[in-house]
Amino acid sequence: MISFVEKEDIALIRAAKNGSSEAFTQIVRNYKDFIFHVAMGILQDPRDAEDVVQESFVKAYLSLHQLQDERAFPSWMAMIATRLALDLYKKNQRGRSVSLHEGIFLPPAAADETRRSDLRLSLWQALAHLKPEHRAILILREVQGFNYQEISLILDIPIGTVRSRLHTAREQLRRALGEEKGGNAHEL
């Protein structure tokens, strides 16, 4: 969870705005996992997620001077990454039509926590049933901890839509998770 900025990061962002490449390199190190997880949650593919990470940092590097408030850096980065991920998803959808579970990356799990990893597997598969917009809003809220105001800015939608979309996304995930748990139990 990285929805707030540390004091050191604010100093780094200011230094990067003043042209320090070293400061931006440190920002990349601090925020790469955060951006990767946002992209991964939406796209569910590590190669596509990495592409989004690269493009997000390039875009941020070229337009950092436009960022007025350094404290808004995480939501600004999340906005760039989310929009790029949603665009890439649409672009990929135009070029291919795969079945739901085909080609979906499955996250690695430790061998000693079988039940928990089964649950994670079910959740990951259930997530694939959701629309990318619903996955995006769930990742931004549940994983990255952004509040409604920030999500509204990131996704460029009114707060009322954030509220209703989150409700729909949670309910759809719950139902899909129920189906996946049933399906995986039969397979096991």
Tokens representing 32 are 């790469």
**Is position 124 an interface residue for another protein (rule: CB under 8 A)?**
yes
CB 77 within 8 A of CB 66: no
Considering only residues 51 to 80 of the shown chain, the ones binding another protein according to CB under 8 A are 53-55, 57-59, 61-63
**Among 4-12, 23-31, 64-72, 89-97, the segment contacting another protein (CB under 8 A):** 23-31
What's the rounded Cα separation, in Å, for the pair 171 and 14? 41
Three-state SS at 183: helix
> Tokens 């190190």 sit at which residue?
29
**Is position 185 an interface residue for another protein (rule: CB under 8 A)?**
no
What's the rounded Cα separation, in Å, for the pair 35 and 49? 9
CB 27 within 8 A of CB 13: yes
Q: How far is the CB of 179 from another protein (least distance, A)?
A: 13
**Is position 167 an interface residue for another protein (rule: CB under 8 A)?**
yes
Please give the residue ranges that form the binding site for another protein (CB under 8 A).
1, 21, 24-25, 28-29, 32-33, 36-37, 40-41, 46, 50, 53-55, 57-59, 61-63, 107-109, 116, 119-120, 123-124, 127, 138-139, 141-143, 147-148, 163, 166-167, 170, 173-174, 177
